[in-house]
A and B are shown apart, each in its own frame.
Chain A
Amino acid sequence: MAMPRTVLLGADDVRRAVSRIAHEIVERDRDLAATAIVGIRSRGDILARRLREAIREHENITVPLGSIDITLYRDDLTRIGYAPVVHESALDFSVDDKVVVLVDDVLFTGRTIRAALDALVDYGRPRAIRLAVLVDRGHRELPIRADFVGKNVPTRPTDDVRVHLVEVDGRDEVELVAREAVTA
C-alpha cells in the first residue's frame, strides 16, 4: 500500500525554526548565565547542539549543553516486549538552580517529556524547566505543553512524523507519512 508523504519542513525551514527558537529562549530568560540546554536522545540532542550554536552566534554566550537518554524512565518498558539498549547520558554540569531548556524533535503524547522530566530531576533541582520542540503534532495524553515550537502540525494519531537531521540522516527534513491504522 502506498503511503502518501508530505514534507512539513524543508532544510531552510528547519534552520529558520532553530534560529527563531534560539531568539525566543534568549528573550524569555535574558539571564543566560543560568540557562542550560538538554537534548533528549537521539534527535533532540542534535537539535540542542544547534540551538546552543545559534545562541552563541546571536549572543556570543556559550551555555552548558547536555543530553539524556530517557529509556529507563519510560512507562511502557514492560509492555513493548523487549528492553531497548540504554545509551549513556551526558550531563556534566549541575542542573541545580539552572533554567533548563529541554529539547526534543517531536512532541506527541507527552510521555517522552514526562519521562525526561523525571530523569532530569534525578540530576538535581532546576529553577525551571522549559520545553522546546521542532514539531508539535498534537494528541497529548498528559498535561504537557511546549514553551517553544518550531511548527504546529495537525496530524491523525496513526500518522508518522519523521524528522531527518543532517548529522545522522544526511539531510534536514521533516515529513509526514499518512498511514492507515495497521492491523497486525
Chain B
Amino acid sequence: MKIQERPTPTPTRVEGAQPLRWQRRHVLDTDDWSRAEIEAVLETTGAMLDILRRPIRRAPPLRGKTVILFFAEASTRTRVSFELAAKTLSADVVNITASGSSVEKGETLYDTVRTLEALGGDIVVMRHASSGAPYFVAERTGAAVINAGDGWHAHPTQGLLDAYTLRAALGDLAGKRVVIVGDVLHSRVARSDINTLVPLGAEITLSGPPTLIPFAWRHGALPRGVTYEPDLDRALDGADAAIALRLQKERQESGLLPSVREYARVWGLSEQRVRRMKPSAPVMHPGPMNEGVEIDAAVAHGARSLVEKQVTNGVAVRMALLYLLVGTPSLEVA
C-alpha cells in the first residue's frame, strides 16, 4: 500500500473544541452524530495514519480482540480496508462472506447473528444488501457493530473518510461547496457524505438525472446544507470539490436512464467539465470507478484526483473507529 508522504496537512480543529469522551457502542449511521464526534474520529484518524507511515505498521490496542468481517454483499476494497485496519491494530480477524457460507444455504440473519455471538467476536463489521440490517444485528448481539454499507441507507466509514480526505486537501470546510453527482437515489455514499460533511460546515450541491434523485429532494424538500442543481455544468461552476458516484449497471436495465453513453456525456466528470470548478479543486470517487462513465480516466488519475488518498485514509478511518469502539464497555444482551 502506498502511504502518503509527510507533511500531511493536519485537518483543522474547531476553536475551543473540548476533548470528547467517546460513548458510542456502534457505528450504524452518522445521521445523529454531533460535530464533536465527527471531529474526534478525524483527529484519531490522523494518529492512525501516523502508524501507517512507520517502519513497523502495527500498534497493540486491539490485542486479544476478535473482529468479525461479515460481508453478505460483494465487496473487496471495503472488506480489505477493514481487514488491514483491524490487523494493524493487532486484532484477530475472521471473515464470513455470503457466497460459500450458510447465508447462501438459507440461514436467516437472526441465526447468523447467533453464530457470530457464539464465535465471540468483539466487533462485527457488516455489509448487507438490506437497509437497516446492521441495526437488527446490533440489537441482538453483545458485540459492537460497524455498518460497512447497508442497502441504499448508509456507509458511515465512507462519509468519514471522504470528510478526512477533503479536510486534508481543503482545510476548514466551512462555506466550501462540494458537488455530489450521479445516482443519489440509490447511494448510501451520498447520504453518508451529506451526514458527515454538512456538520463540518460544507455546502452540498447534488446533481444527476432527476430519475436518480429522491423525489422529495428534487422537489425542494432537501436536508439542511444541501441544494439540487440539475445542470451539472452550473453545479460545478466555482465549486471547491466534486464527488462522482458509481453508476450501477442495473439502473439502465430498470429504465431509469436512457443509455450509459448518454449518462457519460451529460453527467460524467470530464476534464473539460472539472475546469469549471476552482483551480485545483479536488475530485473524489468512492470506487470502484467506471472510467469513461461517471468519471474520465484523465480526471480519475489526474492532478485533481484524491482517489488514492481516499483508499489510504479509508484504512486509517476504520482503524480509528475500531479503536474507539473497543474502548466502550460492552452491554450484556439478554
Contact = CB atoms under 8 A, between A and B. Distances in A.
Interface in A78-121: 78, 80-89, 92, 118-119
B58 interface: yes
Contacts of A71: 47, 61
A85 B10 contact: no
Interface in B34-93: 40, 43-44, 46-51, 54-56, 58-61, 89
Given A83-B327, A124-B55, A89 B50 contact: yes
Contacts, number: 78
* Chain A interface, DSSP helix/strand/loop, else mixed: loop
Contacts of A69: 47
Given A118-B60, A122-B54, A123-B56, A87 B21 contact: no
Counting chain A CB atoms within 10 Å of each CB, which of B19, B55, B326 scores highest?
Answer: B55
Interface in A113-166: 118-119, 122-124
Nearest to A89: B50
Contacts of A86: 43-44, 47-48, 320, 323
A83 B326 contact: yes
A93 to B, nearest CB: 11
B61 A72 contact: yes
B60 A87 contact: no
B33 interface: no
Contacts of B54: 122-123
A135 B61 CA distance: 28
Interface residues of A, number: 23
B329 A85 contact: no
Contact of B47 (A78, A82, A88): A88
B21 to A, nearest CB: 5
A77 to B, nearest CB: 6
Given A86-B44, A88-B10, 13 more contacts: A72-B47, A72-B60, A73-B61, A82-B23, A82-B327, A83-B325, A83-B328, A84-B22, A84-B327, A85-B43, A88-B43, A118-B60, A124-B56
Interface of B: 6, 10, 19-23, 40, 43-44, 46-51, 54-56, 58-61, 89, 320, 323-329
8 shortest A-B CB distances, which residue pairs? A83-B327, A86-B47, A88-B46, A72-B59, A122-B56, A83-B324, A72-B61, A86-B44
